[in-house]
A and B are shown apart, each in its own frame.
Chain A
């Protein structure tokens, strides 16, 4: 772990709790998909758990988080309730979005998750708007916007960073840089040396950090959130990480060299954090196992809830298109 300010024990354990909950969710979703109980394209965040875990302990319920189709880790980090979360993946009426959005559009306003997008890069301009609204309300709430390295090459990224900087918006742009934009390795699609370098072009603070180092990530997040709350404007965080399970479930990662994958898996941040917590005396193996079991049980209850829930009635097609049914 890094040599810098460290979060207290309770915070460290909370980071670990969130990270293992994410892994539990990811493992179970994959099992459910393979068992045919969820039918949806699925974008696993396995390997990237520490990023939202370390960010979320720096946020309040009223802060907002924008994320993408690869977003279960960001959503769980923000505290989305498990039952409607799982039910939405199953397309059930009890889902967060009544089954009408699905995994790519998980939304839970009460948890500070107002929008999840399936369009690469589209969340950044919207995050600006959420931050602007917070500014107008004279609150010091912040907006965290998550996206991948691939998104940094699309127009919306550039437009949004520029505007956020010019308007000094309280937004934190978190690039979860796993080195692959779908199947294309970073070097083959991105002209900048690092994503953090792009901050220079937009007159904002850019930070490169090891996203798989809980303490480094926590520090980077704390700084950026503090900057935003103080009215000092946006930050671009280039958080280096890796994804173990491909772009989409069903993807065999043939475009990633076996060596690179093996190296990344050997450096899996979760067991590394677990061992470190025990080593530093922050928790016993037993305590961590209990924590993991609690997560598993809670998730299992949510799975049960989802499986037992009904599908939405076909009349739902006519609802929520407009404020009230409007014959066009």
Chain B
């Protein structure tokens, strides 16, 4: 595997971690906060140490760190559209776990997001540097 293939695979793996940790983290946080009063400081503390909220916080920390790692080699204009796949995961989780209605417009939106993600994902994660180096190495 050459450098560019390795970068591509690393980018794929981290994109999946970023997307899943964000979607699952938000879901866990929302589950933990449901039907909970947050009037005083004590209520907040009790909420933070409930299992679902803890899982949510850990996943969102993972999200932050993995996104930072991804941004250390991939352009922001690459990371943003590609990690938007998270909207789709959120919509699907709403469909499966909360039995939300999925209208025709939502399916169309899902398809557009997937198309946009695939279009950008098929390109290189770091435009300038990679293309220069590929030219230099004659790839």
* A and B from one complex: no
* Chain A contact residues, CB within 8 Å of chain B: none
* Chain B contact residues, CB within 8 Å of chain A: none
